[in-house]
Amino acid sequence: MSTTGQCLCGSIRYEFDGTPAMTGVCHCRNCQRQAGSAFSTLAAVPRASFRFTTGTPKLYQDADTDSGNTVERYFCGDCGSPIYSAVPSSPDMIFLKTGTLDDTSTFQPQFHVWCDSKQNWVKLEEGVPTMAKQA
């Protein structure tokens, strides 16, 4: 069974097989800026199982990161919706922005990262591991 999703305007549609390898929330300032929100919700999906069914995203190379690694940020060039990010430390995975999923009901974060830059009004759920920086 495939999981599907799309950008806000529908120009970009995707699907992937299987379930995410992990799910989490990133609180780094760059994810906050990209999402226009307090954090970014992510699902790690094997690159080999992910495919676009409609459209081609644009790429922004984000080199000004706290980790020092360039993050590839893919987004819809029409509506601006972030689709996924890719990082050099995990070349076989993409980090899908879970707000683009057609069904978000099963998202449950397994961890929170970059909590040292978390917005001070955000309350984290007890029992979910947190990391001040990236693991």
Category of 108 on φ-ψ map: left (φ > 0), alpha (ψ -120 to 50) or beta: beta
Q: For residue 134, is pLDDT > 70?
A: no
Contacts of 61 (CB under 8 A, 6+ apart): 70, 71, 72, 73
Does the pTM surpass 0.85? The reply is yes
Structural domain boundaries in the chain: 2-117
Give the C-alpha separation, 13 to 32, whole Å: 23
By three-state DSSP, how is residue 31 classified?
helix
Which has the minimum average pLDDT: 66-70, 112-116, 120-124?
A: 66-70
For 59-75, the pLDDT digits (tens) are 999 877 766 778 899 99
What would be the CATH architecture of the domain defined by 2-117?
Alpha-Beta Complex (3.90)
